[in-house]
Amino acid sequence: MTKQHTIGELINLSAGYLEGKGCSSARLDAELLLGHVLGLDRLALYLNFDKPLNNQEVEQYRNLIGRRGQRIPVAYLTGEREFYSLPLQVTPAVLIPRPETELVVDKVLELIEPDEPVQILDLGTGSGAIALALACQDPNIFVTGVDLSKEALAVAKDNALRLEVDNQVNFVQSDLFQNVQGKYGVICSNPPYIPQAQLGSLAPEIGVEPAMALDGGGDGLDFYRRILNQAPSYLEEPGFVVLEIGWDQAPAVQALGEKEGFQWLETVVDYGGMDRVVVFQWQ
């Protein structure tokens, strides 16, 4: 009779395997993937630690662990990532939303008047993470989410439907402002900001994500130049620009904004104490 592996045994075996493959959060990854297979959260896994699994469950889990060992991100394997407490669908067509990007949402919400209608432009919307998080906070928030990738926009539209805010969010295929019309109270973005020369040295997981969402040009600042140069034509007065940045880019991005006539308001640090979001006002 074939031995049936328990939840606990499989987690321990898989965590060791993933650690050997260089995964930095091996045990967490093992737990999340088994939870995905079984439809259980992490607490439920531990409450059922001694439960044996059937062959089909084991085979499905082994397949996922093997792919994770190839350094495919967990979010692409499960097809989902939480952002601002919202379950977002993700595919390899979109950048995986990061916790630090939630700071962009926090800052935009601070800048707008509660319960007052506002139009917001989200450049490089990807999965729709920022746009949808904003729309879910207030029915008076209306967002135009822009992306060059048709595949990314398809994911964002599906997310809007699943979260039932498709009446507040309009998605447009556009190279930044190219197909954008109207004026906005806030323009926000998590643009590509990794310098080209650094792309090859990133963690293998990041190399799986879409290059167009990462490549910020020679010095990583190409998109900031374009956004800050063109944004005044699309902003109400007063209007705001809120941009996620790389940890060492705050002085350069601040200088670019001031060169274009923006007033720098603040640089927000992330949970690790690194510069992460730059805020400008246009008036």
Q: Give the pLDDT score at 115.
A: 86
pTM given for the model: 0.93
Provide CATH code, domain 7-70.
Answer: 1.10.8.10
Q: Burial, 161: exposed, middle or buried (Cβ in 10 Å; 0-12, 13-18, 19+)? A: exposed
pLDDT digits over 229-266, tens only?
999 999 999 999 999 999 999 999 999 999 999 999 99
Tell whether the model's pLDDT for residue 2 goes beyond 80.
no
Tell whether the model's pLDDT for residue 3 goes beyond 70.
no
The whole-number average pLDDT for the span 103-120 is 96
Out of 3.30.9.10, 3.40.50.150, 3.40.50.300, 3.40.50.720, which CATH number does the structure's domain 84-282 have? 3.40.50.150
Delimit the domains of the chain by residue range: 7-70, 84-282
Q: Give the pLDDT score at 1.
A: 43
Mean pLDDT of all residues belonging to the chain: 95
pLDDT digits over 168-225, tens only?
999 999 999 999 999 999 999 999 999 999 998 889 999 899 999 999 999 999 999 9
pLDDT digits over 66-82, tens only?
999 999 999 999 999 99
Edge-first strand order for the sheet with 169-173 is: 169-173, 141-147, 118-123, 184-189, 235-244, 275-282, 263-269
Q: Give the pLDDT score at 4.
A: 80
Tokens of 177: 């402002």
